Amino acid sequence: MCAQNENPFRVEIDLQQQSAYLIRGRRVVMESPISTGRYGHLTETGSFKVIEKELNHHSSIYGKIVDGYGRTVVADADVDMKVPSGGKFIPAPMHYFMRFHGADGMHAGYLPGYPASHGCVRMPEQLAVAFFNAVEVGTPVRVFGRTPRTNQFFRFGPQPQRGPWPWSRQPIGPQYEPRPQIYESRPVYP
């Protein structure tokens, strides 16, 4: 039995499976696919607690750089990068932010199907809302496992997929149309 005013939930984040679990007692009440920190920005393992909740948080370090017309010039920018004349740095939105360690937290974000963040735990928006509503400051968070790594490391852009998506689902979030294939026309000789 929980003491009065004590949150009955805890969160478990499995880096290997790229899944987050909202647990009440011994029962998983919700599971979410996630995208955690990529190599060079790995999500820290250990036992933590939610130390802050903010509905409309924005990163103070990461975002994008746009030109004077609002077109993205650098999609994965740091605040200390040079901004072209007339352009500006736009901090990355992290809606339903639940900070649990340093700058790392759980929040709504794009899931490409592999670890891709700067250390945060991205979730689909609907599930981030549900986790945000369930947890309180002080809710235990345990991060465990090893971040999966593909055969090749690509610093920028998506990594090639080998086999099924880690969660047997397609990527969640905005998708981009693939480039059309251009075929050379060659004369046909009989």
Give the whole-angstrom CA distance, residue 66 versus residue 86. 9
**pLDDT above 90 for 104:** yes
User: Is 13 domain-assigned?
Assistant: yes
Asked if residue 17 belongs to a domain, the reply is: yes
Identity of residue 141: V
- The answer as to whether 175 is a domain residue is no
Contacts of 1 (CB under 8 A, 6+ apart): none
Give pLDDT tens digits for 128-157.
Answer: 999 999 999 999 999 999 998 754 444 444
| 16 falls within a domain | yes
- pTM passes above 0.85: no
Q: Is the pLDDT of residue 118 over 70?
A: yes
Looking at the predicted structure, is the pLDDT value of residue 126 above 90?
A: yes
Q: Are the beta carbons of 66 and 77 closer than 8 angstroms?
A: no
Q: pLDDT tens digits, residue range 54-93? A: 999 988 888 889 999 999 988 888 888 999 899 999 988 8
Contact 24, 8 (CB under 8 A): yes
Is the residue at 4 inside a domain? no
User: What pLDDT was estimated at residue 77?
Assistant: 84
Give the number of domains in the chain. 1
- Rounded mean pLDDT, 38-47: 92
Residue 43 lies in a domain: yes
How would you classify residue 116: left for phi > 0, otherwise alpha for psi between -120 and 50, otherwise beta? alpha
The reported pLDDT for the residue numbered 46 is: 97
- Give the C-alpha separation, 154 to 176, whole Å: 18
CATH of the domain at 43: 2.40.440.10
Q: Which of 124-150 are b and which e, b meaning 16 or more Cβ less than 10 Å from the residue's Cβ?
A: bbebbebbbebbeeebbbbbebebeee
2 part of a folded domain: no
Which pLDDT belongs to residue 108?
95
Burial (CB < 10 A; 0-12, 13-18, 19+), residue 109, is buried
Print the domain residue range for 36. 9-50+95-144
User: Which pLDDT does position 62 carry in this prediction?
Assistant: 85
Residue 104 lies in a domain: yes
